[in-house]
Amino acid sequence: MHAKLRLYILVILIMGFGIGLILYKHFALGFPLLPDDKKAVWTIEARIDFTARGDPVIVSFALPPKTPDIVFMKEDFASPDYGFSEVTSPTGRRAEWSKRTANGLQTAYYRLSLYETEQIVPTQLTDDLPAEPEKPEFDEVIKTAAITLLEQVHGRSANTEIFTRELITTLNSKAPSQNQSLLLNEKSSEDYKTHLIINLLAMEGISARIVRGLYLEDGRRRQSLINFVEVYIGGQWLLFNQNTGIHGKPENFLIWQRGDQSLLDVVGGKNSQISFAIIKNVHSTRNLVVSDGMNKQAGLVDFSIYSLPIEQQNAFKMILLLPIGALIVVIMRLLIGIRTSGTFMPILIALALIQTTLLTGIIIFLTVVGIGLLIRSYLSRLNLLFVARISAVIIVVIAIIASISIISNKLGLDQAMTVTFFPMIILSWTIERMSVLWEEDGPREVFIQGGGSLLTAVIAYLFMTNQTVEYLTFNFPELMLVNLALILVLGQYTGYRLSELYRFHSLERRNASGKR
Amino acid sequence: MLLASAKKLRSLGIIGMNQRNFGLISRYNPRHLYPLVDDKLKTKLLAQKAGITVPKLLGTVQYQHDVKLLKEILHPHDQFVIKPVKGSGGKGILVITEHDHSLYFKPSGDSIQLAEIERHVSNILSGLHSLGGKPDTVMIESLIQLDPVFSDYSYEGIPDIRIIVFRGYPIMAMLRLTTHVSDGKANLHQGAVGVGIDMGSGKALHAVQYGKSISHHPDTRKTFSELAVPHWDKLLQLAAACYEMTGLGYLGADLVLDRDQGPMIIELNARPGLAIQVANFSGLAPRVAAIEALKTIDLDPKLRAAFSKTHFAADADTPSARQLRTRSNDP
Give phi and psi for B71, each to the nearest 5: -60, -40
Choose between B315 and A199: higher pLDDT.
A199
DSSP string, B62-119: -SGGGGGGHHHHHTT-SSEEEEETTB-TTTT-EEE-EEETTEEE-TTS-EEEHHHHHH
Q: Pick from A213, A229, A258: which residue ends a domain?
A: A258
Same domain, A184 and A148: yes
Structural domains of chain A, count: 3
Q: Do B17 and A2 touch (CB under 8 A)?
A: no
Residues 57-76 (B) with a CB less than 8 A from some CB of A = 64
Considering only CB atoms, which chain B residues are within 8 Å of A488? none
Q: A84, A97 in Cβ contact below 8 A?
A: yes
Average pLDDT of chain B is: 86
DSSP H helix total and E strand total for chain A: 17, 13
Q: How far apart are CA A416 and CA A404, in angstroms?
A: 7
Q: B192, B254 in Cβ contact below 8 A?
A: no
Considering only CB atoms, which chain A residues are within 8 Å of B123? 385-386
Average pLDDT of chain A is: 82
How far, CA to CA in Å, does A468 sit from each of A25, A256, A327, A462, A463? 17, 38, 16, 11, 9
| CATH code, domain carrying A235 | 3.10.620.30
Same domain, A431 and A472: yes
Q: How far apart are CA B309 and CA A129, in angstroms?
A: 93
Same domain, A151 and A80: no
Considering only CB atoms, which chain B residues are within 8 Å of A392? none
Query: Nearest residue of B to residue A442 by CA position?
Result: B190
Domain assignment present for A230: yes
Cα separation of the two ends of chain B: 35
Q: A52, A269 in Cβ contact below 8 A?
A: yes
CATH 3.30.1490, chain B: domain bounds: 56-142
DSSP string, A239-287: EEETTT--BSPPTTEEEEEESSS-SEEEESEEEEEEEEEEEEEEEEHHH
Rg of the Cα atoms in chain B: 20
Q: B284, B277 in Cβ contact below 8 A?
A: yes
DSSP string, B283-302: -SHHHHHHHHT-SS--S-HH
Looking from the CA of A282 toward its CB, the CA atoms found within 13 Å total 3
Q: How far apart are CA B297 and CA B130, in angstroms?
A: 34
Domain assignment present for A22: no
Q: Do B19 and A494 touch (CB under 8 A)?
A: yes
Same domain, A332 and A461: yes
Q: A431, A372 in Cβ contact below 8 A?
A: yes
Q: B267, B40 in Cβ contact below 8 A?
A: yes
Rg of the Cα atoms in chain A: 36
Taking the CA atoms of A179, A183, A189 and A192 in sequence, report the sign of the dihedral they define. Answer: negative
User: Max Cα separation, chain A?
Assistant: 120
Same domain, A332 and A227: no
Q: B176, B252 in Cβ contact below 8 A?
A: no
Same domain, A172 and A105: no
Domain assignment present for A437: yes
Q: How far apart are CA B13 and CA A166, in angstroms?
A: 80
| CATH code, domain carrying A92 | 2.60.40.2250
Domain assignment present for A209: yes
CATH class assigned to B15-37+148-320: alpha beta
Which residues make beta-bridge pairs with B81? Answer: B95, B141
pLDDT for residue B157: 82
Structure-derived torsion over alpha carbons of residues A17, A18, A19, A21, reported in degrees to the nearest 10? 80
Task: Among A386, A432, A438, pick the best mutation site for testing chain B contact (most B Cβ within 10 A).
Answer: A386
H helix or E strand, kind and range, residue B127: none
Domain assignment present for A302: no
pLDDT for residue B250: 94
Q: What is the pTM of this model?
A: 0.67
H helix or E strand, kind and range, residue A423: none
Q: How far apart are CA A38 and CA B20, in angstroms?
A: 51
Q: Provide the residue range defining the domain that includes A47.
A: 39-116
pLDDT for residue B252: 93
DSSP string, A345-413: HHHHHHHHHHHH-HHHHHHHHHHHHHHHHHHHHHHGGG---HHHHHHHHHHHHHHHHHHHHHHHHHHT-
Same domain, A464 and A387: yes
Q: Do A500 and B19 touch (CB under 8 A)?
A: no
Q: A110, A45 in Cβ contact below 8 A?
A: yes
pLDDT for residue B169: 94
pLDDT for residue B155: 82
User: What SS3 state is found at A238?
Assistant: strand
Q: How far apart are CA A23 and CA A12, in angstroms?
A: 16
List the single residue in A334, A442, A501 with the smallest CB-CB distance to B4.
A501
List the single residue in A441, A498, A507 with the smallest CB-CB distance to B12.
A507
Q: How far apart are CA A245 and CA A193, in angstroms?
A: 13
Domain assignment present for A507: no
CATH class assigned to B56-142: alpha beta
Quickly state the pLDDT bin for B251 (edges 50, 70, 90): very high
Same domain, A339 and A431: yes
pLDDT for residue A515: 42
Considering only CB atoms, which chain B residues are within 8 Å of A506? 208, 211-213, 278
Choose between A23 and B130: higher pLDDT.
A23
User: What SS3 state is found at A108?
Assistant: strand
Nearest-CA distance from B303 to chain A in Å? 31
pLDDT for residue A90: 77
Same domain, A86 and A150: no
pLDDT for residue B130: 73
- Nearby residues of A306 by Cβ (< 8 Å), 6 or more positions away: A290, A293, A294, A313
Q: Pick out chain A residues at pLDDT < 70.
A: 1, 36-37, 118-128, 176, 186-188, 294, 296-303, 383, 414-419, 421, 440, 509-516
Q: Do A385 and B211 touch (CB under 8 A)?
A: no
Domain assignment present for A111: yes
CATH 3.30.470.20, chain B: domain bounds: 15-37+148-320
Quickly state the pLDDT bin for B273 (edges 50, 70, 90): confident
Instruction: Summarize pLDDT for A393-408 with one digit per residue, the tens.
Output: 888 888 888 888 888 8
Which residues make beta-bridge pairs with B59? Answer: B140
How far, CA to CA in Å, does B218 sit from each of A145, A330, B67, B109, B222? 116, 38, 39, 20, 8
Domain assignment present for A370: yes
List the single residue in B8, B213, B328 with the smallest CB-CB distance to A508.
B8
pLDDT for residue B28: 92
ipTM associated with this complex: 0.74
DSSP H helix total and E strand total for chain B: 11, 14
| Alpha helix stretches (DSSP H) within chain B | 6-12, 17-19, 26-28, 34-38, 40-49, 70-74, 114-125, 232-246, 275-280, 285-292, 301-311
